[in-house]
C-alpha cells in the first residue's frame, strides 16, 4: 500500500485483504495484495500446489448428535464410531492450519425451535417412518435434536474451536444453501476449500458439490471425514470427488507440505515434496 493510500484515513472492511481506505476527500478501492503461501501436497488424481493464504478448512457437522453417545444417531441405533474417527486427525491438523492463518470454519446443523426453517421433506429424512423423535424434537429422556444452541448441536468433545475460528449454522445438507458461508469466504478472499467432517457422503459431499458449482477449488481430506453409511458409500464419494469435483488428500500430506514450506522459508534445502509422494 502506498503512503498516499495510507494517508487517506480509515480502513473500511472486516477482512484485512478486502478493505477500502476512506477519507473526507477521497476513497481508495485498491485492496491490499495477498502474499501467496505455497504448499505442495500429495493428492489424487494429481498432486497439488495450493495457496494457504487463499484457503479455508471447512469442518462439517462434527456435533454430538452425529458423533457422541446419547446423540441423535446413537438414539436411532446407529454405531457412531465411524463418525468419531475424524476427531483425532482434525484436532491435529486444525492448529497447524490456524498457525498459517488459514481460517477454520465450523459448519454445523442448527434448526429453529419452531422448525420454521425445516421443510416436510427435511423432517421426513430425520424421521422416515413417523415414529420416534425427529429433527427439533427431544430424545426421550434426553436433549433436543440439532436445535441451534442445544447439546446435540454442540461440537463433539475432542475438538476445541479457537476464538479466531468462524462458526456458520446450516439447516440443509449443503452448508451453502441459504447461509452466509459463501459471503464470508468471498470476503476473506478464499478460493480453495479443504473439507473435513461427517457424514462424508451426505452433508460433506453436498457442501463440496455446491462449492465446486460456485467456483471454489475443492479438496477432501480423507482421514478427516467419516460416515456411518456402508463402505460402498464412502468409496463412491471418494471416486466422485476425484472424478468430477476436485481432489482427495489426507492430513499427513498437508502437514508434510506445511513442514516443507517452513523448512524452505528457513533456508533449508527443499525436500522435494511436490510429486515425491502420491496420496492413496
**By the 8 A CB rule, do 242 and 18 touch?**
no
Residue 182 pLDDT exceeds 70: yes
Judge whether 59 and 91 are in contact, CB under 8 Å.
no
Which residues have a catalytic role annotated?
Answer: 61, 170, 203
Record the pTM.
0.91
- Residue whose cell numbers read 452448508: 175
Count Cβ atoms below 10 Å from residue 271 Cβ, excluding itself: 13
Determine the pLDDT at residue 68.
97
* pLDDT band (50, 70, 90) for residue 29: very high
Least confident interval from 66-70, 130-134, 184-188, 221-225: 130-134
* Residue of 7 and 279 predicted with greater confidence: 7
Rounded mean pLDDT of the chain?
93
CB atoms within 10 A of CB 275: 11
pLDDT of 74 strictly over 50: yes
pLDDT of residue 3: 63
163: preceding bond cis by omega (within 30 degrees): no
Which cell numbers hold the place of 49? Answer: 500446489
pLDDT-derived band at 177, boundaries 50, 70, 90: very high
> Span 182-206, mean pLDDT?
98
> Is the pLDDT assigned to residue 7 strictly greater than 70?
no
CA dist 214 → 91, 181, 207, 243 (Å):
28, 12, 10, 18
How does pLDDT run across 34-73, given as a tens digit for each residue? 999 999 999 999 999 999 999 999 999 999 999 999 999 9
Q: What is the CA radius of gyration of the chain?
A: 21
In the prediction, which pLDDT does 274 show? 44
Pairing type for strands 217-226 and 247-249 reads parallel
Q: Quick one: which of 154, 158, 152, 173 has its CA closest to 90?
A: 158
Residues 104 and 184: beta-carbon distance below 8 Å: no
Q: Given CA atoms 182, 180, 155, 207 in this order, what sign does their dihedral have?
A: negative
Percentage of the residues of the chain whose pLDDT score is greater than 70: 93
Amino acid at each position: 500500500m502506498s503512503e498516499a493510500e495510507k494517508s487517506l484515513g480509515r480502513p473500511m472492511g472486516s477482512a484485512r485483504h478486502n478493505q477500502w481506505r476512506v477519507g473526507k476527500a477521497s476513497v481508495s478501492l485498491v485492496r491490499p495484495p495477498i502474499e501467496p503461501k505455497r504448499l505442495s501436497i500429495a493428492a489424487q488424481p494429481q498432486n497439488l500446489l495450493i495457496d494457504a493464504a487463499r484457503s479455508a478448512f471447512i469442518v462439517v457437522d462434527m456435533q454430538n448428535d452425529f458423533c457422541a453417545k446419547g446423540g441423535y444417531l446413537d438414539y436411532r441405533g446407529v454405531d457412531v464410531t465411524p463418525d468419531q474417527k475424524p476427531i483425532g486427525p482434525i484436532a491435529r491438523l486444525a492448529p497447524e492450519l490456524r498457525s498459517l492463518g488459514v481460517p477454520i470454519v465450523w459448519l454445523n446443523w442448527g434448526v429453529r425451535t419452531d422448525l420454521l426453517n425445516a421443510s416436510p421433506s427435511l423432517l421426513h429424512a430425520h424421521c422416515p417412518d413417523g415414529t420416534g423423535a425427529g429433527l427439533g424434537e427431544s430424545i426421550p429422556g434426553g436433549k433436543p435434536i440439532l436445535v441451534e444452541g442445544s447439546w446435540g448441536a454442540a461440537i463433539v468433545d475432542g475438538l476445541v474451536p479457537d476464538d479466531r475460528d468462524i462458526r456458520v449454522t446450516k439447516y440443509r445438507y449443503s452448508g451453502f444453501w441459504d447461509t452466509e458461508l459463501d459471503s464470508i469466504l468471498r470476503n476473506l478472499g478464499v478460493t480453495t476449500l479443504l473439507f473435513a467432517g461427517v457424514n462424508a457422503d451426505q452433508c460433506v459431499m453436498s457442501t463440496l458439490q455446491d462449492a465446486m458449482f460456485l467456483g471454489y477449488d475443492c479438496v477432501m481430506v480423507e482421514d478427516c471425514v467419516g460416515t456411518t453409511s456402508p463402505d460402498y458409500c464412502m468409496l463412491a464419494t471418494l471416486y466422485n470427488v476425484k472424478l468430477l469435483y476436485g481432489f482427495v488428500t489426507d492430513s499427513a500430506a498437508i502437514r508434510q507440505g506445511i513442514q516443507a514450506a517452513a523448512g524452505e522459508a528457513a533456508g533449508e534445502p527443499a525436500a522435494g515434496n511436490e510429486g515425491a509422494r502420491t496420496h492413496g
